[in-house]
Amino acid sequence: MSSRRVVAIVPAAGSGERLGAGRPKALVPVAGEPMVVRAVDGLLSSGAVDDVVVVAPASHVDAMASVLPARARVVPGGADRVASVALGLAAVDDADVVLVHDAARCLCPGAVAQAVVAAVRDGHGAVIPALPIADTVRRVDPGGRVVGPVDRTGLLAVQTPQGFRPDVLRRAHEAALGSSAAARATDDAGLVEAVGGEVVTVPGDPRAFKITTPLDLAMAEALLGTTAPLAGAVGDP
């Protein structure tokens, strides 16, 4: 029987061009601390995660290792997110639950990781945190013309950490190797779905939003910097 051990893979090998910081996005500081450090600390302090494998740009393995806690192993990543997660997965040897968590969702509360791990241990092979969509959604053609309404009922926005039984995640990644599903997939649950696997949801958290643009970064810093003052300021004269 395999041990009760949770290993989190943190894909952090993206270039972060949309953020325009001139360095890998995961190393961009959010209120003074690199995103990847915040993401790893969040996982470890949740109490739900035993070990972390960080997947870094090949050129920045040492740079990431030097800022991360010793419990985080750092391995070089690949050309896209799917390849990077596969390389992280290859470094996981002993686990009953594997989480995959984007470094860019670095303010995710620990309760989300706890809920995802609990659901995998309840017997689900693939678990994703998700939230209802607030905006109205439309499908458009390549010219930007609306081609039809989309019923928001039953649509959720998907976050990370996503949790998997290791055999389920490995099978999905093996099948994705060289397939078009890998090119399209923006998350790991998508690869599980592509091989017919069942994916269940647990409630996500708005603070698990992904930092992609300079505005996202400003919002993350505002959230970190103003939580306490805002609470005290309500109703102040």
What is the contact surface with ligand C5P in residues (CB under 6 A)? 11-14, 25-26, 55, 77-81, 84, 102-104, 210, 212
> Nearest residue to ligand C5P, using CB?
14
What is the bridge-based pairing of β-strands 156-158 and 126-132? Answer: antiparallel
Pull the structure tokens for residue 171.
């099978």
CB atoms inside a 10 Å sphere around CB 50:
17
Q: How far is the CB of 10 from ligand C5P (least distance, A)?
A: 7
- Assign residue 47 a region (left: φ > 0; alpha: ψ between -120 and 50; beta: otherwise): left
Minimum distance, C-beta of residue 182 to ligand C5P, in the bound complex (Å): 12
* Nearest to ligand C5P of 1, 79 (CB atom): 79
Query: What is the number of residues in the chain?
Result: 237
| In the complex, minimum distance from the CB of residue 64 to ligand C5P, in angstroms, rounded to a whole number | 11
**Nearest distance, CB of residue 87 and ligand C5P, angstroms:** 9
Q: Which is nearer to ligand C5P, 103 or 217 (CB)?
A: 103
25 versus 165: smaller Cβ distance to ligand C5P: 25
Burial (CB count within 10 angstroms: exposed 0-12, middle 13-18, buried 19+), residue 186: exposed
Q: Of 39 and 199, which has the nearer Cβ to ligand C5P?
A: 39
Q: How far apart are CA 48 and CA 43, in angstroms?
A: 7
